[in-house]
Amino acid sequence: MSTATQTEATPTAAESLARFDLERHHRELASRGFTVLPQVLPREQAERIGARLLELMALDPAFAKTPYYNLDGVFEPVTTQEDVDLFVPLLGDPAVLAVAERAVGKEFQMSNVGGVQLKPHGMGAQCWHNDVPFGWFCHNHRPFPDFTMAITALWMLSDYSAANGGTRLVPYSHKTRSTPIDVIHDPDGYHRMEHEYAASGPAGSCLIFDNAIWHCAGRNTTSRDRLHITIPYFPQFLDGGNLNWRPVPRRIFDMFPPHVRRLHKHVAEDRT
């Protein structure tokens, strides 16, 4: 639900913090493995960000042909301060950062910003998985460490629902410290799991999940795009580069406000 009068103003930091029961969201994330902060940003603002994201995606010739398009590094094609300012409310939202800090500790770091478009009229485009860094533990036959190694803030830039493929998660599965098991393969190629739950919310909502949770994109059966941006956060002592995450280029770092710079100990050029 939205109207121009309700949603025009961007909330201040204090308003954003006061709107949410952060203790409850923290508990949900820790116990169930995910939580949704509804309508953190006004719908119009989220949709404006989504429209610009689609333009950046369309710079890639592969974009039009890919049912699940992932722009892994949203800032790579960005050149202007105007674009950086457009995306900053997602990177530095005080309520989301407060939940992140409770989950991964103080002085946590931010990883590469990804943008995803799930096209309409499609088949389920993803297999069940957990996120970085857990692939490393699987490939190296090591047990998953038993603490929150990373979380992801997934910003809904369109409405999310089961019908348009809202991210599916298996509640509490992060507690198993394992990769998804017992996936049910339907004859039409769709993969389901018992107890799966489809995250939903209006554009501007933020799903935060533990990267150890079993999850995947659903099937978008509607006639409109499903669109989001993901931002992983990890504890300060981990090295994001070692975990396959790409730091932002220095030219982008220099355009960030101080509270977002603090989330980047490294820029891409540190590694060259």
210 scored as a contact of ligand AKG (CB under 6 A) = no
Exposed e or buried b for every residue in 70-109, given b needs 16+ CB within 10 A? Answer: ebebbbbebeeeebbebbebbbbbbbbbbbbebbbeeebb
Q: Tell me the helix, strand and coil percentages in the chain, rounded to 5.
A: 30, 20, 50
Which stretch, 28-36, 79-87, 210-218, 257-265, contacts ligand AKG (CB under 6 A)?
210-218
Q: Which is nearer to ligand AKG, 131 or 196 (CB)?
A: 131
Whether 178 and 144 have beta carbons less than 8 Å apart is answered as yes
Whether 116 and 207 have beta carbons less than 8 Å apart is answered as no
131 scored as a contact of ligand AKG (CB under 6 A) = yes
Q: Least distance from C-beta 65 to ligand AKG, angstroms? A: 18
Single out the residue of 230, 245, 248, 256 in contact with ligand AKG (rule: CB under 6 A). 230
116 scored as a contact of ligand AKG (CB under 6 A) = yes
The CA–CA distances, whole Å, from 56 to 36, 76, 214 equal 27, 9, 29
Which stretch, 25-33, 171-179, 215-223, 258-266, contacts ligand AKG (CB under 6 A)?
215-223
Q: Which is nearer to ligand AKG, 45 or 230 (CB)?
A: 230
Which stretch, 17-25, 83-91, 142-150, 209-217, contacts ligand AKG (CB under 6 A)?
209-217
> Which sign, positive or negative, has the C-alpha torsion 102, 107, 109, 110?
positive
| Binding residues for ligand AKG (CB under 6 A) | 116, 131, 152, 154, 167, 215-217, 230
